[in-house]
Structure 1
Amino acid sequence: MADINHFEYGWITPALSYALSVLGSVLGLVCAGRIRTARTAGQRAWWGLLAAWALGGTAIWAMHFMAMLGFAVDGARIRYDVPLTAASTAIAVVAVGIGLAIVGTGRLNPLRLVAGGVFTGAGVAAMHYTGMAAMRLNGSLGYDSTRVILSVVIAVVAATVALWLAMTVRRGLAIFASALVMGVAVNGMHFTGMSALSVHLHERAGGVSGAGVSALLVPIVVAVIFGVVGLLYALLAAPTDDDVAAAAYLDARRGPEPAPAAPVAAPDPVGLRARSTLGQPGTPFPSRRDTPTRRDTPSR
């Protein structure tokens, strides 16, 4: 059995992984709060997608990869299968998105919360072990079943708490405190799952396919930066709850728009308007019967 080191670079990788999980949790909670105040189904879907990306992509998956940078096996070079690594990202985002849809499409109740937490937690655990399966090294991986089950339980509990916070927390300080708790839960699940791992190196050295950590680091960091910047821009550009409330108040004060008044014709006592239309296209000429004659004119 090979020696495993989870903190090859010391405190820097766990500190960065925790910071990423807190940052993603803050953005995800803020975006989830916008789901409750959205007026249309399209707006709810948009904010749900952003919340799923923030929580699943940044708070969970990016945290996982950052922590994996400190993972090392003595005597083995670690590489990663790119399609499986990308699949683990999709699993995390989709699982969180479906969990938010379960708890956010109706009145929040314990049944919805538990269903969303179980589904999301199972998705988070699937993301973690899919990312572990993406590792390529000259050896075989083994897992302690008890610790694996414990990590799945932690993932389900953490996901349930995260969904409950996403649907109930609104104030800035409460959001930040919740994000700190979520960061502890996500990192706790990750390192519990990592403690279940054991590596048995092969006696013969063989070629290992896949991309190295350095090859994946740059595109992942760029994707995280652009994702965070995009989330911040979407949050800053969107109207706040106070803006929506102020607009609704002004609409209520203004009341319904009055209907346009019908045009009133000016008085025409001597028939000048009728005379001015004679000879125009579509205007009938007066008949002989309607035209006064000399005989009909009274004499003086």
Structure 2
Amino acid sequence: MHGTVDGFSYGLVTPLVAYVMACLGGALGLRCTTRALLVAHSWRPGWLALGSAAIGSGIWTMHFVAMMGFTVQGAPIHYDKPMTYGSLGVAVVMVGVGIFIVGYRGATGTALFTGGTLTGLGIASMHYLGMAGMRLNGTFEYNSLTVYVSVAIAMAAATAALWAAGQVRGFLWSVGAALVMGLAVTGMHYTGMAALSVRLHTGGAPTPGDSPATLLAPMLIGPLAFLCLAGAVVMFDPLMVTGRPDRTFAPHRPGVPAHPVVGHAARSARLRGRRNAAGQESRTPQNR
């Protein structure tokens, strides 16, 4: 017997909040990725790791906020906690691999395709692993074509977002990219849910159980706290907010990507340039 599935038990509340969570994680993660492209090599892994964790936490929180509105009539839902938290780990690790590829190889060509594909697969893996962690008196069945469409949406969204992060533009550019990424990731979630049908097991009376919101709310505390902490790091870094970092590009060598140098190194480079200019001026015939 097929169960009656309702993905909008609270109306538009859960989709809207889920979208906000996806945008928040995307904005923080993309801004950290952009920041990683503007710092010295030794600081880059830290910013990329923070960006990976922010995006992973954001899409995981988005998924389970949306799942608060998911119910199956006559079949109370429970969640396997190890698998549920495992889906968070998968999201952070796979998104991290994609972001590190783009962070070190640049958001172009093969690196962008590879990084976007891995990041998109991480988003999709998180979704379907999180679904596998659900427990109810029935089995899930998926429409294969719709599942493939949802995975394609995730990969396209991730690739576009990483490309935007690699443009190294202003804060508003990153916000716009995060809004698009949030829309695509949320769309991927609901496309994946549209592929789902539930076949209930017969021979047992419906059993009472907690609501999805009651079960999921304690699980969301940690990722939400992390997103707030990451947001504080971003907002208190003036270079992150203004989008106009004080940078000077290091001389380019053939075969080696040119990376910006910021902070003390940039000021030192400017001072050396002024001294060289002053020395050249003092050697002109007019000043002899």
How high is the TM-score relative to the length of structure 1? Answer: 0.77
Rounded to whole Å, the distance in 2 between the matches of 1:88 and 1:78 is 18
1:19-72 Cα offsets, whole Å, 9 max, x none, are 11111111111111111012033x1111011101111111x1110001000001
1:139 Cα deviation (Å)? 0.6
1:189 Cα deviation (Å)? 0.5
Aligned letter for 1:242? P
1:253-286 Cα offsets, whole Å, 9 max, x none, are 6559xxxxxxxxxxxxxxxxxxxxxxxxxxxxxx
Aligned to 1:90: 89
Aligned to 2:250: none
Aligned to 1:2: 3
Change (3 A) 1:242 1:148: closer
Aligned to 2:54: 54
Aligned to 1:34: 35
Change (3 A) 1:203 1:107: closer
Rounded to whole Å, the distance in 2 between the matches of 1:73 and 1:147 is 20
1:133 Cα deviation (Å)? 0.5
Rounded to whole Å, the distance in 2 between the matches of 1:20 and 1:128 is 15
> Contact conserved, 2:138 with 2:198, CA < 8 A, in 1?
yes
Change (3 A) 1:131 1:49: same
Change (3 A) 1:210 1:127: farther
Aligned to 2:189: 190
1:108 Cα deviation (Å)? 3.6
- Structure 2 matches for 1:109-258, cutoff 5 A? 109-205=108-204, 213-220=213-220, 222-238=221-237, 240=239, 242=245, 247-248=264-265, 250-252=267-269
Rounded to whole Å, the distance in 2 between the matches of 1:255 and 1:175 is 33
Rounded to whole Å, the distance in 1 between the matches of 2:196 and 2:211 is 21
1:97-124 Cα offsets, whole Å, 9 max, x none, are 0001111212443111111112121221
Moved more, 168-177 or 141-150: 168-177
Change (3 A) 1:169 1:129: same
Aligned letter for 2:214? S
Rounded to whole Å, the distance in 1 between the matches of 2:66 and 2:266 is 48
1:215 Cα deviation (Å)? 3.7
Q: Is the partner of 1:76 in helix, strand or coil?
A: coil
Rounded to whole Å, the distance in 1 between the matches of 2:124 and 2:94 is 10
> Contact conserved, 1:48 with 1:97, CA < 8 A, in 2?
yes
- Find the structure with the greater CA-based Rg: 1
Q: Percent identity?
A: 42
Rounded to whole Å, the distance in 2 between the matches of 1:11 and 1:211 is 18
Q: Which runs of 4 or more aligned residues in structure 1 lie more than 3 Å from their structure 2 counterparts after TM superposition? A: 206-213, 236-239, 241-250, 252-256
Rounded to whole Å, the distance in 1 between the matches of 2:270 and 2:163 is 36
Q: Is the partner of 2:198 in helix, strand or coil?
A: strand
Aligned to 1:269: none
Change (3 A) 1:175 1:205: same
1:77 Cα deviation (Å)? 0.2
User: Pairwise CA RMSD of aligned residues?
Assistant: 2.4
